[in-house]
């Protein structure tokens, strides 16, 4: 289970990268607890041979000597200015890891390097090892890391790479998306475990263990996996599919590397707008009416609702004391929100027009709903109701008579 690169000679012009080496110091507090202090240090990832001139003699140099794996092969046509590089120590908990490919010395010190493109074109992570004649202590090595001095040269080689060309993915609704994850190992037939998870969910979306041959879940082609391609194809996307997906590759005896891929659903659902009053509201001066404007079934979450009013003598940009309900989330992951106020009009408010405006990223212009208020003196609303009822009845009778004459 590997994609075995035999002595690849990269055509890339990149021969070195400025890096940040995140060193560690473990301090024990008064209660006996370990506190890790991270120490950023200047470093250089330099590709070449022992004895080559140093790019920066003042920084810690991680000299990457030739092996069957070449990180530069995956950097495509990127410029140094577009890349960020970060190095970390890797703890084996003080145990000796027997790596199948022999080095100059019997023991190893391990590091990880992460190279990211500023425009999210790719992300590369790799295990690098420094051959050492110092045996492990058998204790937690992170408690007493070997001191790495300024200007020190660490001669290393790459033994494992995991990379993706889709560190950030955008997808539309009801579509399949591919989350790329490939790995490269410096020896054949390694014992590999591959797992895909979504952040926040314990159950894996897919897992495969090469020693046992056990596979759970779906989304990864097993034939492609045998060649080092662990690309995951999502089910049909829906609201709620977005999140951070993790591709985890473990090669025995190392615990493995993990790529986090931020997967966004490029989904926009416009809101439906409704009022709880008719376009013409007849209301008595002594009445208080709760007026509600609801935005319903929209996605994503952010929405803005504003009430405004316009009368014959003045214009108000917003209705005073407007209140918002809490967001409601539906089973399909769309949302609902309402804005309401209590209307207690005066007679001179008759004819005033109230407008609810809803703003959302799915809309090129806000959706508006309007109603006009007719204010009556106390008790007169009955007269208006009777007149309205009479008009409706007469209209229905005329319609019936005219149909009878046809």
Contact 290, 339 (CB under 8 A): no
Q: What are phi and psi of 117, to 5 degrees?
A: -90, 140
Q: Which two tokens stand for residue 102?
A: 């022999």
pLDDT, position 255: 83
Q: Give just the sign of the alpha carbon dihedral 371, 377, 381, 387.
A: negative
pLDDT, position 26: 82
pLDDT, position 384: 59
Q: Which CATH class is domain 16-265?
A: mainly beta
pLDDT, position 314: 55
Structurally, what CATH architecture does the domain formed by 272-392 represent? Sandwich (2.60)
The segment(s) of the chain belonging to CATH 2.60.40.10 are 16-265, 272-392
Low-confidence ranges of the chain (pLDDT < 70): 1-13, 137-140, 312-320, 379-388, 390, 401-406
């Amino acid at each position: 289970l590997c994609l075995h690169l035999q002595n690849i000679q990269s055509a890339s012009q990149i021969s070195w990268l400025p890096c940040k080496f995140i060193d560690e110091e473990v301090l024990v507090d008064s209660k006996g607890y370990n506190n890790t202090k991270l120490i950023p240090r200047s470093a250089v990832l330099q590709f070449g041979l022992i004895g080559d001139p140093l790019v920066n003699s003042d920084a810690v140099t991680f000299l990457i000597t030739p092996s069957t794996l070449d990180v530069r092969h995956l950097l495509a046509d990127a410029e140094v200015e577009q890349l960020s590089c970060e190095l970390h120590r890797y703890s084996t908990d003080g145990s000796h890891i027997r790596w199948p490919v022999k080095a100059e010395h019997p023991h190893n010190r391990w590091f990880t390097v992460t190279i990211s493109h500023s425009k999210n074109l790719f992300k590369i992570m790799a295990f690098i090892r420094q051959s050492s004649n110092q045996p492990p202590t058998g204790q937690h090595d992170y408690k007493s890391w070997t001191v790495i001095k300024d200007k020190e040269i660490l001669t290393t080689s790459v033994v494992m790479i995991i990379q993706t060309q889709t560190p950030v993915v955008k997808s539309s609704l009801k579509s399949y998306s591919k989350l790329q994850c490939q790995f490269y190992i410096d020896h054949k037939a390694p014992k590999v475990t591959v797992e895909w998870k979504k952040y926040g969910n314990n159950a894996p979306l897919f897992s495969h263990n090469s020693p046992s041959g056990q596979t759970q879940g779906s989304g990864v082609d097993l034939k492609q996996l045998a060649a080092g391609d662990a690309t995951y194809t999502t089910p049909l996307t829906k609201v709620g599919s977005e999140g951070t997906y993790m591709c985890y590759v473990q090669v025995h005896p190392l615990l493995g590397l993990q790529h986090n891929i931020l997967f966004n659903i490029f989904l926009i659902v416009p809101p439906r707008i409704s009022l709880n009053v008719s376009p013409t509201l007849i209301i008595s001066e002594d009445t208080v009416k709760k007026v509600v404007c609801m935005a319903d079934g929209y996605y994503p979450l952010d929405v803005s609702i504003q009430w405004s009013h316009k009368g014959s003598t003045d214009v108000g940009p917003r209705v005073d004391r407007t209140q918002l309900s809490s967001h409601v989330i539906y089973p399909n992951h769309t949302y609902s929100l309402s804005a309401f106020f209590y209307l207690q009009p005066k007679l001179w408010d008759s004819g005033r027009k109230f407008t609810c405006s809803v703003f959302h990223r799915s809309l090129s212009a806000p959706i508006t709903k309007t109603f006009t208020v007719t204010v009556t003196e106390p008790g007169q609303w009955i007269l208006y109701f009777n007149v309205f009822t009479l008009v409706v009845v007469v209209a229905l009778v005329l319609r019936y008579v005219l149909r009878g004459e046809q």
